[in-house]
Amino acid sequence: MTMPQAHEDASAFWEGHYAKLTAPASGRPSAILVRFTAGLVIGRALDLGCACGDDTIWLARQGWTATGVDVAQSAIDAAQRAAEHAGVAERTRFARHDLNVSIPDGAFDLVSAMFLHSPGKFDRLAALQRAANVVAPGGLLLIAAHGSRAPWSWADPDTVYPTADEELVDLSLTPSGWHDVFVGPIERIAYGPGGQTATVIDTVIALERLT
Ligand SMILES: C[S@@+](CC[C@H](N)C(=O)[O-])C[C@H]1O[C@@H](n2cnc3c(N)ncnc32)[C@H](O)[C@@H]1O
């Protein structure tokens, strides 16, 4: 797979990725999202890098008013169609954003960034700092990242994955403004694009915004 050389190519890379998939949406929400939203007071959610909408639609089904954003317009269009098909279009909103540049305005009770990885010069840290800024007081910032490489991943086999603690330090959030709900690794069974499975490590940061 050809890697883009600059973040301007991210859109083209992901459009190409989604054009090749025969079944872009799995219909399954992220296990991390399901686990860490259990018991939360339902409100406004923002799903960053929403792909074809599985997580956004699952949130809407639980009663959240959910906004999904992605750099790939084809993914946004597929997510919109899937939300209509699922009967939750009135509780979902999908918009194209390049998170290198912008994020929806507002204050959200849940901001979720599930595997917001991208080849090329994606400034993941800046995007996550922007994400932290739109969490409402009392809301949850939920970040999951790859902590190991799945066999089908486009990532370089020599990739060194930061730990959740390292990523939290890099985020440079004001310590007094956040409560650590969970920061660490979680093992799970992952499903590949062809339906194959593998055991992988996710690194998870779940923080409640205090102020
Ligand atoms: C690895 S996929 C993860 C998708 C989904 N959140 C999940 O957990 O399966 C990363 C997603 O982020 C999107 N993405 C990559 N770079 C982006 C950017 N700069 N701005 C917004 N979305 C981006 C991609 O289009 C893709 O849908």
Topology (CATH level 3) of domain 31-209: Rossmann fold (3.40.50)
pTM given for the model: 0.93
Q: Is the CB of 149 under 6 A from ligand 1?
A: no
Q: Mean pLDDT across the stretch 184-210?
A: 94
Task: Report pLDDT for 1.
Answer: 34
The DSSP code sequence of 125-192 is HHHHHHHHHTEEEEEEEEEEEESS--TT--S-TTPPPPPHHHHHHHHT--GGGEEEEEEEEEEEEEE-
Task: Report pLDDT for 197.
Answer: 95
Query: Going by DSSP bridges, is the β-strand pair 108-114/44-48 parallel, antiparallel, or unpaired?
Result: parallel
Exposure string of 6-28, with b = 16+ CB inside 10 Å and e = fewer, is ebebbbebbeebbeeeeebbeee
Q: Mean pLDDT across the stretch 189-202?
A: 91
Task: Report pLDDT for 106.
Answer: 94
Q: Is the CB of 114 under 6 A from ligand 1?
A: yes
- Ligand 1 centroid vs 11 CA: distance in angstroms? 10
Q: Is the CB of 117 under 6 A from ligand 1?
A: yes
Q: Mean pLDDT across the stretch 138-143?
A: 98
Backbone angles phi, psi at 203, to 5 degrees: -105, 130
Closest atom of ligand 1 to CA, residue 30: 8
- Ligand 1 centroid vs 41 CA: distance in angstroms? 26
Task: Report pLDDT for 6.
Answer: 44
**Residue 150 or 10, more confident:** 150
Residue nearest to atom 3 of ligand 1 (CA): 115
